[in-house]
């Protein structure tokens, strides 16, 4: 069928496309396109009615221009006209245009739906298919509303042509995916399931996609499909390669249908009926057997199709996870593929084996391939294949091979692609921890990790090693010795300095007996790295130094000397300076007893899930780390910290301070917040209140300051600081509304007339998801009739580190004083979080600026001279009296700032009209600064007394 341009070739289109292709530059192309657009526009607008052919040609040109990446804002109507043409190609182009350039223009949708309706009822199969394709391509809710009732009827009707049935099945699937509530299968269910028995292979192929999706959502209603699918599969698998005629693809009978059947079966557990199950197992065995037969063709299509079925069968075997015999055979088959010359097969085998590794029946079988996988990691040329090999090594790791696998991964890290290093580091860290029998190996591994790939070692990793060392006293001495040695290297990674500083600060005494690592040697070693480090590391080192003073009184004078030096005590970084000042003071005035109490060894950390695992999970997305693995991680973590639990008694204080950080992962050591000593028991800290007056820079969230028991399901009362937060936004529309350790709320808003739209951005600052996240916006009491606030629903789940957005529409009905309340509830690690804030919607947001001349201003000023129309406040400046800042704030207020109006150039005057639905309230403002007295006099006059008063209150807080 050499069928190009069968009489419908559009010469004008071909010429245009050639022209575009001949354009030498982007500019030339744009010029040519603009010329064409002008031409088409004039044709469409012209008096002469266009014939169908011309319309088709121009619509097609527009489509071409759109697909080149240019905007098209006309031609929709002409395309809709084409839909009702009775010439096939015209109709077809019309539908294509609509499918590609969907427009939510409701008028148009109605017309389109009309045309579709006509074609659906035309009983012309070709037209019906076109209409169905269009519905499937657009898939909008409007279309679902119009056609979701009709399509199932077409699908199951006895007289529908096969090709129409196929289109109808997939069209319905598309609508079901976008609007499941509108597609009601009810009465059709059984007839749809029986399409699996249809004589026409094409109908079955199309229908099975629909049935699979419906089964996933309603497994019970569709469970009869299991036995039908098994018998259909069995017939295909046992057929000779030529039986299915055109449905045989490169000697493989019906590969698409076979794969879809195997996929459908994965929606269900193994069949309960013995006969059905027997038949299925037979099919699976046949598929595995066929893999061993010599290929019937050398073409890659043949092997692709055959292996597609094989991999799908293996997926089903893994899904059932109940047939040890099949599992082991699957594993052996994949083992063969691991060494196949086709890269694609090696990739898929590695991927598939990852899931097999988690099955108890095949875990051992997978392990036998370790050498091949390690080899793949070393020799594969394609990074995505190496990545899969690393994943598989991780999945097959257990106590018996952990040391080998970790060593291989470490050595691979030295040459690994940058793109996968961070993930590799996390994996090594997790494995080392999970399978550590002897903790010196664990410490060695992590330090190696830092040495080899220090840049990719995230905070979580080095926090964790410190946690573990602190919790296990049998490894502390070794850890101190090892970090001491590691720090000897002339160039060592900053993360190494952090770990070294922390560990020597805690456990340096354990190696101080050796003259080669005497206290002073240790200190000098640490301090030699100090100047090369960033501020946070320096801060950590300073804390290590003060710990040294406690551990080794003989270092006191040396360290005090360092603290006293200008580069510390006058450091431009406020955190470093503060630490230097406070530590110096602490070391000189506190008695040794006090010092010993404050600087006591860190108590064990409470048992918690490894934060590294959480990080990996986040990195790979949900599902990448199996639940099984997570639980195991938790269990192993528990074992690890077991010692901590027993010793928990003497650390109740630290446990309490940890309770205020409900995060299982964030801020492990409390290092990220205030100085390290603030984590010391508060009872001891209170002795030193004077010394530490400012030290406990406690940025614990507002949330956590409330004891968990006090949190009820009712909306919490607004935070005490919410008025302050509100004031922050009087003169601006965007910024961070609220922030604590868990959550950050950003705000963006825009106002026009009496309407406003606000975007709230809820950011999860932790690495753990927030669940049942709900927000409610309410207008308490008197506010209710004045303000209409509508909040769009927000996603109930916020992944760790993710942000969700909520849109709030606001309508101002009358003037108001209060602010709407925003209540936020969510669960974080099981604990309910509940907080209320005031939404920064204030009356001035609805200002329209009004420009006026001096004369007009004072005339109006006088008109508003009744005493209740005026509100005045005299107040002290709370910020520097900078003219530019004041101007910016007044502009932010929303009024027009009038220049050359007030006779005194120091004064500011503004005018504006507040737009509410009920009325407009004109307002004038005058602000008189007195620089000498650092005072302001603020006067507001408006036609409504409550407005003057409220504006005056709001503004008095701003300057």
Partner 1 sequence: MMRFLLLFSRQGKLRLQKWFTVLSDRDKRKIIRDLTQMVLSRPPKACNFLPWRDLKIVYRRYASLYFCCGLEQDDNELLTLDILHRYVELLDQYFGNVCELDIIFNFEKAYFILDEFVIGGEVQETSKASVAKSIEEAESLQEVRQ
Closest contact distance (angstroms) between CB of 782 and partner 1 is 41
Give the CA distances from residue 504 to residues 445, 668, 672, in Å, rounded to whole numbers and listed in that order: 18, 19, 19
- In angstroms, the CA 445 to CA 411 distance is 11
Nearest Cα neighbor of 438 from 484, 411, 486, 406 is: 406
Q: CB of 102 within 8 A of CB of 138? A: yes
Of 37, 62, 80, 93, which lies in the binding site for partner 1, with binding defined by CB under 8 A? Answer: 93
Region 603-632 residues binding partner 1, contact defined as CB under 8 A: 621, 623
Instruction: Say whether 888 sits in a helix, a strand or coil.
Output: helix
Q: Is residue 123 a contact point for partner 1 (CB under 8 A)? A: no
Of 30, 34, 35, 87, which lies in the binding site for partner 1, with binding defined by CB under 8 A? Answer: 87
- In angstroms, the CA 227 to CA 691 distance is 78
Q: Answer yes or no: is 645 a known binding residue.
A: no
Pairing of β 935-942 and β 870-876: antiparallel
Q: Is residue 178 a contact point for partner 1 (CB under 8 A)? A: yes
Q: Exposed/middle/buried for 4, CB within 10 Å: 0-12, 13-18, 19+?
A: exposed
Closest contact distance (angstroms) between CB of 524 and partner 1 is 49
Of 111, 144, 214, 259, which lies in the binding site for partner 1, with binding defined by CB under 8 A? Answer: 259
Binding track, positions 231-250, relative to partner 1; x by CB under 8 A: ---------------xx-x-
Nearest Cα neighbor of 318 from 308, 328, 309, 306 is: 328
Of 225, 233, 257, 499, which lies in the binding site for partner 1, with binding defined by CB under 8 A? Answer: 257
- In angstroms, the CA 535 to CA 574 distance is 10
Closest contact distance (angstroms) between CB of 44 and partner 1 is 19
Nearer to partner 1, 96 or 526 (CB): 96
Q: Is residue 89 a contact point for partner 1 (CB under 8 A)? A: yes
Region 694-753 residues binding partner 1, contact defined as CB under 8 A: none
Of 2, 274, 515, 781, which lies in the binding site for partner 1, with binding defined by CB under 8 A? Answer: 2
Q: CB of 502 within 8 A of CB of 542? A: no
Q: Other CB atoms closer than 10 Å to residue 364's CB: what's the count?
A: 14
Q: Other CB atoms closer than 10 Å to residue 706's CB: what's the count?
A: 16
Q: Answer yes or no: is 12 a known binding residue.
A: yes
Q: Is residue 795 a contact point for partner 1 (CB under 8 A)? A: no
Nearest Cα neighbor of 779 from 810, 750, 804 is: 810
Closest contact distance (angstroms) between CB of 745 and partner 1 is 25
Nearest Cα neighbor of 641 from 658, 627, 660, 618 is: 658
Q: Is residue 8 a contact point for partner 1 (CB under 8 A)? A: yes
Nearer to partner 1, 346 or 950 (CB): 346
Of 17, 182, 852, 864, which lies in the binding site for partner 1, with binding defined by CB under 8 A? Answer: 17
Q: Is residue 583 a contact point for partner 1 (CB under 8 A)? A: no
Q: Is residue 297 a contact point for partner 1 (CB under 8 A)? A: no
Nearest Cα neighbor of 361 from 395, 329, 403 is: 329
Region from 201-209, 226-234, 604-612, 887-895 binding partner 1, contact rule CB under 8 A: 201-209
- In angstroms, the CA 298 to CA 290 distance is 15
- In angstroms, the CA 85 to CA 92 distance is 9
Region from 35-43, 85-93, 429-437, 538-546 binding partner 1, contact rule CB under 8 A: 85-93
Binding track, positions 364-383, relative to partner 1; x by CB under 8 A: -----------------xx-
Q: Is residue 96 a contact point for partner 1 (CB under 8 A)? A: yes
Q: Answer yes or no: is 260 a known binding residue.
A: no
Region 299-318 residues binding partner 1, contact defined as CB under 8 A: 301, 304-305, 307-308, 311-312
Can you name the residues that pair with 771 across neighbouring β-strands?
827
Q: Is residue 58 a contact point for partner 1 (CB under 8 A)? A: no
Q: CB of 578 within 8 A of CB of 677? A: no
Q: Exposed/middle/buried for 242, CB within 10 Å: 0-12, 13-18, 19+?
A: exposed
Q: Is residue 469 a contact point for partner 1 (CB under 8 A)? A: no
Q: Is residue 24 a contact point for partner 1 (CB under 8 A)? A: no
Residues near 745 by beta carbon (within 8 Å), at least 6 away in sequence: 736, 737, 738, 739, 760, 761, 762, 763, 824, 837
- In angstroms, the CA 225 to CA 472 distance is 56
Q: CB of 610 within 8 A of CB of 637? A: yes
Closest contact distance (angstroms) between CB of 375 and partner 1 is 17
Nearer to partner 1, 628 or 932 (CB): 628
Nearer to partner 1, 622 or 780 (CB): 622
- In angstroms, the CA 332 to CA 325 distance is 11
Nearer to partner 1, 254 or 897 (CB): 254
Q: Answer yes or no: is 60 a known binding residue.
A: yes
Region 62-81 residues binding partner 1, contact defined as CB under 8 A: 63-64, 67, 69
Q: Answer yes or no: is 176 a known binding residue.
A: no
Region 152-171 residues binding partner 1, contact defined as CB under 8 A: 163, 166-167, 169-171
Q: Is residue 477 a contact point for partner 1 (CB under 8 A)? A: no
Place of tokens 């106002």: 751
Nearer to partner 1, 136 or 526 (CB): 136
Q: Is residue 335 a contact point for partner 1 (CB under 8 A)? A: no
Tabulate helix, strand, coil % of the chain (nearest 5): 60, 10, 30
Q: Answer yes or no: is 762 a known binding residue.
A: no
Binding residues: 11-12, 43, 53, 57-61
């Amino acid at each position: 069928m050499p069928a190009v341009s069968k009489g419908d070739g559009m010469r004008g289109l071909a010429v245009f496309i050639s022209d575009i292709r001949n354009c030498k530059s982007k500019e030339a192309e744009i010029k040519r396109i603009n010329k064409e657009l002008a031409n088409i526009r004039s044709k469409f607008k012209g008096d002469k009615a266009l014939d169908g052919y011309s319309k088709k040609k121009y619509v097609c040109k527009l489509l071409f221009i759109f697909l080149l990446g240019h905007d098209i804002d006309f031609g929709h109507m002409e395309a809709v006209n084409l839909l009702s043409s009775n010439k096939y190609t015209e109709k077809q182009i019309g539908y294509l245009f609509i499918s590609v350039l969907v427009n939510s223009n409701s008028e148009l949708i109605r017309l389109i739906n009309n045309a579709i309706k006509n074609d659906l009822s035309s009983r012309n199969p070709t037209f019906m298919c076109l209409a169905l394709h269009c519905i499937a391509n657009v898939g909008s809710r409007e279309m679902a509303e119009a056609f979701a009732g009709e399509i199932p009827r077409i699908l199951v009707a006895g007289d529908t042509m096969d090709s129409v049935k196929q289109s109808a099945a997939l069209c319905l699937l598309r609508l079901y995916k976008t609007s499941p509530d509108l597609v009601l299968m009810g009465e059709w269910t059984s007839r749809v399931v029986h399409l699996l028995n249809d004589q026409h292979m094409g109908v079955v192929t199309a229908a099975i996609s629909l049935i699979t999706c419906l089964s996933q959502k309603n497994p019970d209603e569709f469970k009869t499909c299991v036995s039908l699918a098994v018998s259909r599969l069995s017939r295909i698998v046992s057929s000779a390669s030529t039986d299915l005629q055109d449905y045989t693809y490169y000697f493989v009978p019906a590969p698409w249908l076979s794969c879809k059947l195997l996929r459908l079966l994965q929606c269900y557990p193994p069949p309960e009926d013995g006969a059905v199950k027997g038949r299925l197992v037979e099919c699976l065995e046949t598929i595995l057997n066929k893999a061993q037969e010599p290929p019937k063709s050398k073409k890659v299509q043949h092997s692709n199709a055959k292996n597609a079925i094989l991999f799908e069968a293996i997926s089903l075997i893994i899904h059932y996870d109940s047939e040890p015999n099949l599992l082991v055979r699957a594993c052996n088959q994949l083992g063969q593929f691991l060494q196949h010359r086709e890269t694609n097969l090696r990739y898929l085998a590695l991927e598939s084996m990852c899931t097999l590794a988690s099955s108890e029946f095949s875990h051992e079988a997978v392990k036998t391939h370790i050498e091949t996988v390690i080899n793949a990691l070393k020799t594969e040329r394609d990074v995505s294949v190496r990545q899969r090999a690393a994943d598989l090594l991780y999945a097959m790791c257990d106590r018996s091979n952990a040391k080998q696998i970790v060593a291989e991964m470490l050595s691979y890290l030295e040459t690994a692609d940058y793109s996968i290093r961070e993930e590799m580091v996390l994996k090594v860290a997790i494995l080392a921890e999970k399978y550590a029998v002897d903790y010196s190996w664990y410490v060695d591994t992590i330090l190696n990790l830092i040495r080899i790939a220090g840049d990719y070692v995230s905070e979580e990793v080095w926090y964790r090693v410190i946690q573990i060392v602190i919790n296990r006293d049998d490894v502390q001495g070794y850890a101190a010795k090892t970090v001491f040695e590691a720090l000897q290297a002339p160039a060592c990674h900053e993360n190494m300095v952090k770990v070294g500083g922390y560990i020597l600060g805690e456990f340096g005494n354990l190696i101080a007996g050796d003259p080669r690592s005497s206290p002073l040697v240790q200190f000098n070693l640490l301090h030699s790295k100090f100047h090369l480090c960033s501020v946070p590391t320096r801060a950590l080192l300073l804390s290590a130094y003060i710990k040294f003073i406690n551990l080794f009184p003989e270092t006191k004078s040396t360290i005090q000397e360092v603290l006293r030096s200008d580069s510390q005590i006058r450091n431009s970084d406020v955190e470093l300076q503060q630490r230097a000042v406070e530590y110096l003071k602490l070391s000189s005035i506190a008695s040794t007893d006090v010092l010993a109490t404050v600087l006591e060894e860190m108590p064990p950390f409470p048992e918690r899930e490894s934060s590294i695992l959480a990080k990996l999970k986040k990195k790979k997305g949900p599902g990448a780390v199996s639940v099984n693995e997570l639980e195991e991680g938790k269990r192993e973590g528990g074992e690890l910290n077991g010692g901590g639990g027993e010793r928990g008694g003497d650390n109740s204080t630290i446990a309490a301070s940890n309770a205020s950080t409900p995060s299982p992962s964030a801020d492990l050591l409390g290092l990220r917040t205030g100085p390290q000593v603030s984590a010391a028991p508060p009872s001891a800290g209170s002795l030193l209140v004077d010394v530490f007056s400012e030290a406990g820079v406690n940025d614990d969230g507002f949330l956590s300051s409330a004891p968990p028991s006090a949190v009820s399901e009712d909306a919490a009362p607004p935070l005490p600081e919410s008025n302050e937060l509100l004031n922050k936004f009087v003169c601006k529309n965007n910024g961070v509304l609220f922030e604590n350790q868990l959550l950050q709320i950003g705000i963006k808003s825009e106002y026009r007339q009496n309407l406003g739209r606000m975007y709230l951005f809820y950011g999860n600052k932790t690495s753990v998801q927030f669940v049942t996240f709900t927000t409610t916006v309410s207008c308490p009491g008197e506010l209710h009739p004045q303000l209409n606030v509508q909040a769009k629903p927000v996603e109930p789940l916020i992944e760790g580190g993710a942000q969700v957005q909520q849109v709030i529409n606001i309508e101002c009905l009358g003037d108001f004083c209060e602010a709407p309340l925003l209540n936020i509830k969510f669960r974080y690690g099981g604990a309910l979080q509940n907080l209320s804030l005031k939404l920064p919607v204030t009356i001035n947001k609805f200002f329209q600026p009004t420009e006026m001349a001096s004369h007009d201003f004072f005339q109006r000023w006088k008109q508003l001279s009744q005493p209740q129309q005026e509100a005045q406040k005299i107040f002290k400046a709370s910020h520097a009296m900078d003219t530019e800042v004041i101007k910016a704030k007044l502009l932010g207020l929303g009024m027009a700032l009038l220049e050359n109006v007030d006779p005194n150039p120091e004064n500011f005057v503004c005018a504006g009209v507040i737009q509410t639905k009920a009325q407009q309230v004109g307002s004038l403002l005058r602000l008189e600064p007195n620089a000498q007295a650092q005072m302001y006099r603020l006067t507001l006059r408006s036609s409504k007394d409550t407005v003057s008063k409220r504006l005056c209150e709001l503004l008095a807080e701003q300057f």
